[in-house]
């Protein structure tokens, strides 16, 4: 059965250009525009020999980057580059945590042990929403503003996991597809939707801390 039969509300469109270095993949939204911040993970057993510290900054009351792609077991630091305090937290099952009101850089980075998606919020500024995609594999890539990534050479049976924070299924899910299907179709679409209301996370924080 084709993997496309499992698609419910989302399809992937990817343009391929092959080279000796692998494939340049172009991901677009439902209107054909380039889709930045899409994550593609190659599902293999590759691991990083050294896992550098990743950074999720806070600049102008926004998380920077909007989407951070890391591999499991990697540490993330959350510096606050604003001149106001932030209160960072997540209720995601992958990694619930809280960094209470602070300036500057916290003393201890956060370890992300498990693969999955972590949705970030700020209890003080409801407009602040960010995402950390924690990959099982070391081969994880994020599209640039042009909607492109460069993948290594892959075998036809290699499975890819593709994700975007504004996909129609919601940020907690992801879709898998074989590389042979991507090569065969040539171009596909990720259907997206408007982000959730920005006050959702702040309201949830207040409910969870009401007692």
pLDDT, averaged in runs of 10, over the chain (211 residues):
37 46 79 92 90 96 98 97 96 97 94 98 94 97 92 91 92 87 69 72 50 43
**CB neighbourhood size of 129 (10 A):** 21
Q: Identify the pLDDT of residue 110.
A: 98
Other Cβ atoms within 10 Å of 92 Cβ, number? 18
The CATH homologous superfamily for domain 3-208 is: Cupredoxins -  blue copper proteins (2.60.40.420)
Q: Tell me the CA end-to-end span of the chain in Å, nearest whole number.
A: 50
The rounded radius of gyration (Å) of the Cα atoms in the chain is: 18
The set of long-range contacts for 133-136, using a CB threshold of 8 Å and a minimum separation of 24, is 133/39, 133/41, 133/67, 133/68, 133/69, 133/70, 133/163, 134/70, 134/71, 134/72, 134/74, 134/94, 134/95, 135/39, 135/41, 135/69, 135/70, 135/71, 135/72, 136/41, 136/43, 136/71, 136/72
117 CB burial (10 A radius; 0-12, 13-18, 19+): buried
pLDDT of residue 121: 96
Contact yes or no for 100/181 (Cβ under 8 A): no
- pLDDT, position 36: 95
pTM, 2 dp: 0.84
Confidence (pLDDT) at 57 = 98
Q: What is the pLDDT of residue 22?
A: 73
Q: What is the pLDDT of residue 195?
A: 74
pLDDT for residue 196: 65
- 179: Cβ contacts below 8 Å, ≥ 6 apart: 154, 155, 156, 157, 158, 159, 160
């Amino acid at each position: 059965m084709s993997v496309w039969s499992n698609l419910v509300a989302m399809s992937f469109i990817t343009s391929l250009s092959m080279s000796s270095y692998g494939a340049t993949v172009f991901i677009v939204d439902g209107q054909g525009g380039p889709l930045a911040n899409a994550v593609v993970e190659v599902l293999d057993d590759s691991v990083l020999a050294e896992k550098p510290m990743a950074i999720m900054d806070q600049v102008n009351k926004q998380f920077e980057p909007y989407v951070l792609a890391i591999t499991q077991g990697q540490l993330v630091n959350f510096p606050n580059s604003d001149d106001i305090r932030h209160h960072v937290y997540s209720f995601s099952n992958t990694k619930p945590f809280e960094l209470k009101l602070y300036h500057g850089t916290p003393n201890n980075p956060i370890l992300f042990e498990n693969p999955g998606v972590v949705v970030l919020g700020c209890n003080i500024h409801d407009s602040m929403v960010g995402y950390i995609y924690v990959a099982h594999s070391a081969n994880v890539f994020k599209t640039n503003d042009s909607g492109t990534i460069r993948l290594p050479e892959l075998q036809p049976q290699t499975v890819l996991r593709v994700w975007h924070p504004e996909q129609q299924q919601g940020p907690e899910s992801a879709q898998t597809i074989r590389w042979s299907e991507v090569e065969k179709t040539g171009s596909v679409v990720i259907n997206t939707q408007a982000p959730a209301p920005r006050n959702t996370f702040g309201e949830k924080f207040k409910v969870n801390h009401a007692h």
